[in-house]
Structure 1
Amino acid sequence: METTQENNPLEFSSRIDLAKLQEAVEKIKAELGKVIIGQHDMIELLIISILANGHSLIEGVPGVAKTVTAKLLARTMNVDFNRIQFTPDLMPSDILGTSVFNVKTSEFEFKKGPLFSNLILIDEINRAPAKTQSALFEAMAERQITIDGKEYQMQAPFLVFATQNPVEQEGTYRLPEAQLDRFLFKINVDYPSLEEEIKILESKHDLKNKDEEAFVETVLTAKEIAEYQNIIKEVIVESNLLRYIASIVENTRTNASLYLGASPRASIAIMDASKALAVMNGRDFITPEDIKKVTKPILRHRIILTPEREMEGLTPEKVIDQLVESIEIPR
């Protein structure tokens, strides 16, 4: 239904044509909805991370569709996709590639590993040792890797979606703070509701022997992703909202419950993610509600509680809620 400025005082005229982008986002959600039941927050945050050109860490117990959602999301995009299973014996060369001697040319040739792709799904990221994590870290941070003194640029778009199990600790390595900071989001995936689980059972029963991934069709090309990522950069952010973002992050550094606060990279992440969320909702400007919605998944892995507060049962999410509520919302 069309609305006019007369009957809707909040109606605005966007400077940027967002119709194509919005249509693409809705198509992606519709394609994933053919297979994935629920998990709307995870899907929305993963789409935001694509538009904001950021990596995402997905945490949840086994069986809550972390891996399958990331795989299906990759199928909606006409880009190269690789899945890498991290294990304790995984070496850097296993993901980066290695130099192989060519007998015909009498020279070493570099054979690229699975990390050379557009969208990387890393399963159980916390199972690989420090050397492999370090190799991945350079690719995530600089979107390049260095082998034998030579730099190789990763082809855009280059996005890493990584999963980890928060419960199982045996055979795992804790990700260093510097690497966690390179993830735009840490997405916590919960169990489905009773109604959603019934729908999951019905869907699986109806599929019988059909391949569920075959139902998902391609929506975006690499060129369109780059185009939409550029659109995000044009979104308006008023100065009072920049101060609001900075105030939230600055308060993490002075909060008595926190041993480690967030860095300016977190402020930039909140701004970029808010822009992507605004565009997905058809606006070329961000609002305080956009900021509040993306703040928790951006900050939860960037702050560390003091041992005392952690023993008392406080969680990063609770601290973030308290921080956001304590700061006056700009009008």
Structure 2
Amino acid sequence: MEDQNIPSSEHLDDTNRTEENNVNETNPSNDIKEEVTEPTTEGFQSRIDLQPLQNSVEDIKREIAKFIVGQNEMIELLIISILTNGHSLIEGVPGVAKTVTAKMLAKTMAVDFSRIQFTPDLMPSDILGTSIFNVKNSEFEYKKGPIFSNIVLIDEINRAPAKTQAALFEVMAERQITMDGTRYEMELPFLVFATQNPIEQEGTYRLPEAQLDRFLFKINVDYPSLEDEVQILVDNHSRQDKMDFNDIKAVLSAEEIKKYQDLIKQIVVEDNLLNYIASIVHNTRTNANLYLGASPRASIAILNAAKANAAINGRDFVTPDDIKRCTKAILQHRLVLTPEREMEAFTVDKVVDQILETIEIPR
């Protein structure tokens, strides 16, 4: 009978749990407080001061937003390409602000800018320049072409024939031009932003893989959303269909660009993330869906772009998300599907997604 009045061990355990829960609700433990208030990034922030870079990026976005609505993906990737000293190929249907955005981005920098309209009758000398005989001194003088600039916008790059496209090989890869046996170095920064229309094929010349590989990014520009398009109409109506590029202020100098490019190189990358990048690129060479995989230049491009993306977000260390965020724009123009996959309407983007899902993310 006395045993009936003694609480069972299960009842005691329930009672203890209830008391512990009440204590935790009224007085959280010190461990929880430390976890919430611990400054996990304070040490990293003290090593490299990324605040000036972040402020400059925000200033660039603010200036471009004066006329461009949306297209945040294109703008961010173009800024990353500047920070990594890489060229970008912008692809989209006509009228989605490819050329205007690239031109405005160039205006936010106090550097030289030139625009070249590629046409079927354009010759290499129209880009690189040519030697002209000077009657006064009876010597040939080299007259530099429009490629000698800091930011070069090439509009409709696929409209020029292969001979003219090939004139860009050396200058895009080595930042120099060899003319009549003389080498001419390009002034830094030197960046090429090229646009092309993926829909219209008549009168165009497909870029060879060797030239596509010289672009850091291939940026696909899609139509704006319904809300963005409404805002485009509102802004256009309010400024009476006028677009004055002089309203765009230069917020970056050539010296600051060089400084930020050097700063990006100091971003910390763990060894396991280097293995992660190498595994992604190596998988493209052994993937059954691909006829042509990515080269080591793609691995370096992913590494540099991930560093820039980390810096823009205020971190001086790379995370797997930084790598995944830039991988598709770097690989999609470097990979070639097998004929069988092309007939099945498979896409390179799907292959890249499968690769990123298959490879284990470092912890």
TM tier relative to shorter chain: over 0.9
- CA displacement at 1:153 relative to structure 2: 0.7
Correspondence 1:231-250 to 2 at 5 A:
231-250=263-282
**Alpha-carbon separation, structure 2, partners of 1:309 and 1:9:** 49
Q: Which runs of 5+ in 1 are unaligned?
A: none
**Alpha-carbon separation, structure 1, partners of 2:157 and 2:273:** 35
**Alpha-carbon separation, structure 2, partners of 1:265 and 1:162:** 19
Task: Give the aligned partner of residue 11 of structure 1.
Answer: 41
Correspondence 1:67-78 to 2 at 5 A:
67-78=99-110
- Greater Cα shift, 205-214 or 177-186: 205-214
> What code does the residue aligned with 1:57 have?
L
Task: Give the aligned partner of residue 97 of structure 1.
Answer: 129
| 8 Å CA contact retained: 1:304, 1:316 | yes
**Alpha-carbon separation, structure 1, partners of 2:73 and 2:243:** 25
**Alpha-carbon separation, structure 1, partners of 2:42 and 2:158:** 46
Task: Report SS of the residue matched to 1:98.
Answer: strand
- Evaluate the alpha carbon distance shift between residue 127 and residue 24 of structure 1 in structure 2; reply closer, same or farther with a 3 A threshold: same
> What code does the residue aligned with 1:131 have?
K
> What code does the residue aligned with 2:180 have?
D
Correspondence 1:98-137 to 2 at 5 A:
98-137=130-169
**Alpha-carbon separation, structure 1, partners of 2:201 and 2:169:** 21
> What code does the residue aligned with 2:93 have?
V
- CA displacement at 1:39 relative to structure 2: 0.1
Q: What TM-score, normalized by structure 2, do the two folds share?
A: 0.89
**Alpha-carbon separation, structure 1, partners of 2:38 and 2:141:** 64
Task: Give the aligned partner of residue 8 of structure 2.
Answer: none
**Alpha-carbon separation, structure 2, partners of 1:292 and 1:9:** 26
Q: What TM-score, normalized by structure 1, do the two folds share?
A: 0.97
Task: Give the aligned partner of residue 286 of structure 2.
Answer: 254
| 8 Å CA contact retained: 1:28, 1:73 | yes
| 8 Å CA contact retained: 2:108, 2:249 | yes
Please identify the structure whose Cα radius of gyration is greater: 2
Task: Note the alpha carbon deviations across 1:194-248, whole angstroms, 9 max, x for none.
Answer: 1100100111101115433232111000010000000011110100000000000
* Aligned-residue identity in percent: 71
**Alpha-carbon separation, structure 2, partners of 1:59 and 1:103:** 45
- CA displacement at 1:9 relative to structure 2: 5.0
Name the Cα RMSD after superposition: 1.2
Task: Note the alpha carbon deviations across 1:181-201, whole angstroms, 9 max, x for none.
Answer: 000000000000111001001
> What code does the residue aligned with 1:10 have?
T
> What code does the residue aligned with 2:263 have?
I
> What code does the residue aligned with 1:246 have?
A
Structure 2 residue 354 is the aligned partner of structure 1 residue 309? no
**Alpha-carbon separation, structure 1, partners of 2:143 and 2:64:** 34
**Alpha-carbon separation, structure 1, partners of 2:156 and 2:239:** 28
**Alpha-carbon separation, structure 2, partners of 1:5 and 1:227:** 36
Correspondence 1:17-56 to 2 at 5 A:
17-56=49-88
> What code does the residue aligned with 2:184 have?
Y
Task: Give the aligned partner of residue 16 of structure 2.
Answer: none
Task: Give the aligned partner of residue 148 of structure 1.
Answer: 180
Task: Report SS of the residue matched to 2:277.
Answer: helix
| 8 Å CA contact retained: 1:135, 1:145 | no
> What code does the residue aligned with 1:7 have?
T
Q: Count how many residue pairs are aligned between Structure 1 and Structure 2.
A: 328
Task: Report SS of the residue matched to 1:236.
Answer: coil
In the TM superposition, structure 1's runs of 4+ consecutive aligned residues that sit over 2 Å from their partners are: 8-14, 209-212
Q: Which runs of 5+ in 2 are unaligned?
A: 1-33
**Alpha-carbon separation, structure 2, partners of 1:9 and 1:321:** 34
**Alpha-carbon separation, structure 1, partners of 2:183 and 2:200:** 36
| 8 Å CA contact retained: 1:258, 1:306 | yes
Q: 2:120 aligns with which of 82, 88, 94?
A: 88
> What code does the residue aligned with 2:185 have?
Q
Q: 1:205 aligns with which of 237, 240, 243?
A: 237
Structure 2 residue 214 is the aligned partner of structure 1 residue 179? no
Task: Report SS of the residue matched to 2:341.
Answer: helix
- Evaluate the alpha carbon distance shift between residue 317 and residue 107 of structure 1 in structure 2; reply closer, same or farther with a 3 A threshold: same
- CA displacement at 1:6 relative to structure 2: 5.9
> What code does the residue aligned with 1:253 have?
R
Q: 1:294 aligns with which of 318, 323, 326?
A: 326
**Alpha-carbon separation, structure 2, partners of 1:12 and 1:319:** 38
Task: Report SS of the residue matched to 1:122.
Answer: strand
- CA displacement at 1:106 relative to structure 2: 1.6
Greater helix share, 1 or 2? 2
Task: Note the alpha carbon deviations across 1:149-180, whole angstroms, 9 max, x for none.
Answer: 11111110000000000000011111110110
- Evaluate the alpha carbon distance shift between residue 134 and residue 70 of structure 1 in structure 2; reply closer, same or farther with a 3 A threshold: same
Q: 2:316 aligns with which of 259, 264, 284?
A: 284
Task: Report SS of the residue matched to 1:174.
Answer: coil
> What code does the residue aligned with 1:180 have?
L
**Alpha-carbon separation, structure 2, partners of 1:207 and 1:167:** 31
